[in-house]
A and B are shown apart, each in its own frame.
Chain A
Amino acid sequence: NAGVTQTPKFRVLKTGQSMTLLCAQDMNHEYMYWYRQDPGMGLRLIHYSVGEGTTAKGEVPDGYNVSRLKKQNFLLGLESAAPSQTSVYFCASSYQFVPPRAETQYFGPGTRLLVL
């Protein structure tokens, strides 16, 4: 299993450009998440999905859109990139919670985005 993969690994955008980040998982997980990581701030949740065809807003959703057309893929879109969106983006996936086992999220390697 490849686990969680992300493409691209690195991208430079100009302000106002658009792009889509792709996340794929081969573990048949129901839940998928997009986070951004900024210096000194840990990871913050942008959007998440609890199953194919569903999406929901996280802590910092403004300026981003997502889609979950297939269970294994979760796309993050930036319609009009801004310098404030310069960050490292991480995708994660997890099983549905089954007590008493604890849930874990499996993370991808990250996408580094620079918006000029």
Chain B
Amino acid sequence: GESVGLHLPTLSVQEGDNSIINCAYSNSASDYFIWYKQESGKGPQFIIDIRSNMDKRQGQRVTVLLNKTVKHLSLQIAATQPGDSAVYFCAETLDTGRRALTFGSGTRLQVQP
């Protein structure tokens, strides 16, 4: 069953295309950001992270970009595959001493074969 509701913004892409998922974060003092992937009926799964002293970080098929000036994060997925279909959340830390994360509302990625 679905873990999230029906009113998430949805990005639909063709298999093999690149995907870009955007996130606006709320607190200019946040110093650490994470992207999570959540498949239907499962808990969030870590994808990639970035600290505020960086503006770009690359992983396997994924890249995260951070623009602190406009408080914007993006997740780029190269050569999107059907298995990438999921809801994607960005998260930020407001208080590194507390280690708690504040999550965005998520974006649903649908990959068309």
Contact = CB atoms under 8 A, between A and B. Distances in A.
The size class of the interface chain A forms with chain B is 35 or more
Given A37-B4, A41-B105, A94-B99, 10 more contacts: A4-B43, A31-B99, A39-B6, A56-B98, A97-B96, A102-B32, A103-B99, A104-B46, A104-B49, A109-B43
B106 A42 contact: yes
Contacts of A92: 43
B99 A38 contact: no
A39 B4 contact: yes
Interface of A: 4, 31, 33, 35, 37-45, 48, 50, 56, 58-59, 88, 90, 92, 94, 96-97, 100, 102-110, 112
Contacts of B50: 102
Interface residues of B, number: 30
B46 to A, nearest CB: 5
B8 interface: yes
Contact of B42 (A33, A96, A104, A109): A109
A37 B3 contact: yes
A37 B1 CA distance: 14
A37 B98 CA distance: 20
B100 A58 contact: yes
